[in-house]
Amino acid sequence: MSSAASEEAASKSTGKKLRVLVVDDQPAVREVVADTIQYAGHEIVGTAKDGMDAVTQAKELRPDVVVMDISMPRMNGVEAMKAILAAGDAKRVLLMSGEYRSLGVTRDEMMRHGAAAFMEKPFNVTELFDMLDRWTAEICT
């Protein structure tokens, strides 16, 4: 992480933090995303390896935010997001993907189905921090 991103994260700390569930079928990506979100001062309440696991964990953990890959085995991120939001098990879902175009999914479709945001992988750390800050202000007030 760049020192500018580090300083920005430190300067935006409000003492309030989001409870986040991170979902990705790639263990290394799950770790990087979770570490980045923790670095920004938020709590990782759990991680999941696919959409089915995400739905189960969201029901148990009731996170503020789910950060989820789209392309995963058993249940993709869009379907998992629909189930999580329909059940009211999270306040926001951020979808991430490096290959969403090849899956035949558009950004408009993701947003119509309830995604609060979409980020392309590799993600921009500053953009992620800004988004989390906005959501913290909206959710943790």
CA 105 from centroid of its chain's CA atoms: 18
Say if CB 116 and CB 135 are below 8 A apart.
yes
pLDDT, mean of residues 22-49: 97
Confidence of residue 100 (pLDDT cuts 50, 70, 90): low
pLDDT, mean of residues 4-14: 44
Angle between helices 27-39 and 125-139 (to 10 degrees): 60
Report the amino acid identity of residue 139.
Answer: I
Angstrom distances, CA of residue 63 to CA of 18, 44, 116, 119, 138? 8, 9, 14, 19, 15
pLDDT tens digits for range 101-140: 556 677 888 899 999 999 988 999 999 999 999 999 999 8
SS3 54: helix
pLDDT tens digits for range 45-77: 999 999 999 999 999 999 999 999 999 999 999
* Global model pTM greater than 0.75: yes
**Per-domain residue ranges for the chain?**
17-135
| Model pLDDT, residue 107 | 82
Tokens of 28: 């290394």
Confidence of residue 98 (pLDDT cuts 50, 70, 90): confident
On whether the 17-135 domain is CATH 3.40.50.2300, my answer is yes
Residue keyed to tokens 């979808």: 95
